[in-house]
Every structure is written in C-alpha cells, then in structure tokens.
Amino acid sequence: MRITGLMQNQSTVRTLNRHQYEMDKIQTQLATGQKIQTPKDDPAAATNQMFFRTRINELDQFDRNISDGTARLNLMDGELGRITDIMQRIRVLTVQASNGTYQGDNAFELKNAIASEIDQHLRALIDIGNGKDATGLPLFGGYTVERAPFEPIVSNVKGLKGLELENQIVGVEYRGDIGKRLLEVERSQYIDVNMPGNQALWGTNFTITGSVDNSGYIASSDQAFKIDGVEIRVQAGDTVDDIIDKINHAGLDVKASKIGQDFVSLHSTAPHQIWLEDMEGGTVLKDIGLVSADRTRPPNNYADTARVSGLSLFDVVIKLRNDLLAGDQLEISGRDLGNLDEAMDNVLRHRAQIGARQNRLEEHTKRVSWDKNYMTELLASNEGIDVAETVMNLKWIESVHSYALNVGARIIKPTLMDFLR
C-alpha cells in the first residue's frame, strides 16, 4: 500500500483533533463535576440519572406535604386541647351549680353567674370551631372553604324570675361537610389531615328514626346511598331488611334497626352527626323516611317527619346554660353532667386519632429523609466524577497530545525545498 505525505498529514490532524476533543471533554467534566453532559455520553447512566433526579424531586414534594400536614395536625391538636380545657372548666362550674346546699337568692345569683360564664365559654367554643389554619382553610369544616363551619342561631332566652335575656345563642348548625383533605406522603399513600366538626365537636350519640311504614318496601331499581361517606349499593328487589343488613355490615359507627311499624332507625355507636345522602338519582333514604324530598343535600337534610335526637358539643353547653337559667337542679346534676362527660370523651377520642396520625407522619419524615440521602448518594456516584482519576486522565491525554505534536512536526515539516537543498 502506497503511503503518501497527504495521508500522513491527514492522519496526524485527525489524531490531534481527537486528542483535543478528549481534553475538552475531560476539562468540562472537571469544571462541572459531572461525567455525563449529554445522554449520548452514557445512555444507561443518563437514564439512571433522570430516574434519581425525578425521585429526589418527588421526595422533596413528599417532605413538603408531610411538613404541611404536621403543622395542620399540630394546630388541630392544640385547638382540641383548648376545647378540653374549656370543657373541664364548664364541668367544674356544673358540679358547683349542682350542689344542693345553695338556696333562695344565693342559688339564684350563683346559677345566673355560672350561666353567664358558661355563655362566654360557649362563644369561645364556637370561635375555636370556626378557626382556620395558616392558609385560611377551616380546621373543622371538612372540605368546605367558602363559609364558616358552625353558624350560631341567636334568639331570646327566659331565665329565672321571668327575666328575658336577649341575643343569646340558642343553637349551632353545622354548615361544613365530611370531606377529607388527603396529603400524599408516598406514592399512592395518603393521610387525612382533616377532622370534620360534626364528628370531633359532637357531644352525644345521634339517632334518627323515620315515620314511614316500610313493611312493604321493595327497591324498584339498582341504587346507591351514602352513610357517613361510605357507599352502600342497593339492588332491585331488596327489602328494608336487606337494606338494614347492608348498613350493619358496612363497617360504620352506625347501626340500623326496625322500630314499631317497620320504621327504620339509625343510631350512632360513637358520638357524631349521621351524614345521609342519596346517590346517582336514587331515592332509597327518601323512600324509607330518613331524608327530606326537598332538601336532598346534607347536612341537616333529614325528613321533617323523622324523629332526630343527639346533641353537638355546643348543644350540650347550650342546654346546660338554659337549665341553669331555668333553675332545673335535676337536669343540671343528672343529664347535663353526663352529656358533658360524653362530649369530653369524644373530644379526647379524636385527639387520640390526631396523635396517631402525627406519629405516622413522623415515621414518614424519617423514611423520606433516609430515601433522599440514599438517592442523593446514588445520583452522585452515577453522575459525579472521580477527581483524582479524571485529573490523571487529563495529564495522560495531554502527554499523548504533546507526543503527537512532536511526531506531527517531524512528518509535516519536510517540503520540496528541503529536498532541493
């Protein structure tokens, strides 16, 4: 094979260009600290790099979610703690008022003074129930954000000796819902950081009994309804006994039964307001006499003919205040004191639930922190350079390039004039 001078020159230039490319590549790696600049440098490593970065960004978002959820739960726990303290004070006052040693004008003045203080505690409880978090979202309103969850009803109240007190709170209606605020703390893992007020701030067990004779009831079509947010399916041909059986096996804190002329009755096994809702155009709850035909959306959508009993935490305090104003010693020392204890137990039960969620978030915080450290190490080992090795490679290529320049100078230097001399 004939080797010409042009071929030697071109080969030398190609070699020098390749050396310069390698030196530029290594210098860029040293400048950036990364060995992968474009996917073509190492397609497999580049794929891992994208996965590690995506996972780290994902963990950062989970960390923010956990932080937000922890702050909200801490605030809710603190507010329930304030409610517990207020209820403890109300209980002390109730025990004092139930003391039968006070007679005559002394008893009148004492009960009025206690009723006045309890009324102020009632207003404080409503303010706490309508409290918001740092983002302006109600703490005890479920998923509702456009209005305060608890609306007081104001009217006049008659007290002892015919006195009429004006602008007194005679009721509190829940205007929120039972929606959940779910925070994703890991892929497909969610924690509810909500506590609806008609559950956490409820006083006694709730009962609703319809007044419709359901002895001949048969579902006309496949339908569905919800109790406390849990969907219950009804098939065409189901009787009222089938519906009651499905309710009792739905895992709810609600039990169904028949009373009298096959009247359907729902009774909560833990203090809360029972949430009823027909779905998909169904009419099961309306047909069996539990839900109003005019007011289909909860809350407070119970049929006008249904018998409803159960007191919220606010209703418990209102009843106590009214009994104090009326001087009903028997109610104060009996039912009112029992209602207070039941309401306090319910608040403490929900504080325990919040504590369990706080513990779970704490464990997720540890896991996310460990995962971030592990992924960061994998990313560093995948895209980072070994500085000592990279510097050695640069020195080696510089030496090779220097040798190539010396060889090229000897090959390219001779010309025709050199031979004519």
Per run of 10 residues, the mean pLDDT along the chain (length 421 residues) is: 65 74 73 68 75 90 93 94 95 85 64 87 95 89 84 78 72 90 90 92 94 89 92 92 93 91 91 91 90 85 92 94 86 91 95 94 93 85 67 75 71 59 56
Contact 317, 90 (CB under 8 A): yes
Residue 71 to residues 33, 133, 379, Cα–Cα distance (Å):
38, 9, 31
pLDDT for res 4 = 62
Task: Output the six-digit token pair for 92.
Answer: 């002390």
Q: Which CATH class is domain 53-202+311-371?
A: mainly alpha
Cis peptide before 299 (omega within 30 of 0): yes
Predicted local distance difference test score (pLDDT) of residue 162: 59
DSSP letter at 3 equals: P
Using alpha carbons only, give the angle 88, 80, 332 rounded to the nearest 5 degrees.
30
- The residues, ordered by sequence, that sit 6+ positions from 188 with a Cβ below 8 Å of its Cβ are none
Q: Give the pLDDT score at 319.
A: 93
Give the span between the Cα atoms of 53 and 29, in whole angstroms: 19
Please, are residues 210 and 263 in contact by the beta-carbon 8 Å criterion? yes
- What pLDDT, on a 0 to 100 scale, did the predictor assign at position 310? 92
Q: Are 416 and 31 in contact (CB under 8 A)?
A: no
365, β-bridge pairs: none
Domain boundaries, the chain: 53-202+311-371, 207-309
Spatial separation of the C-alpha atoms in residues 85 and 26, rounded to whole Å: 68
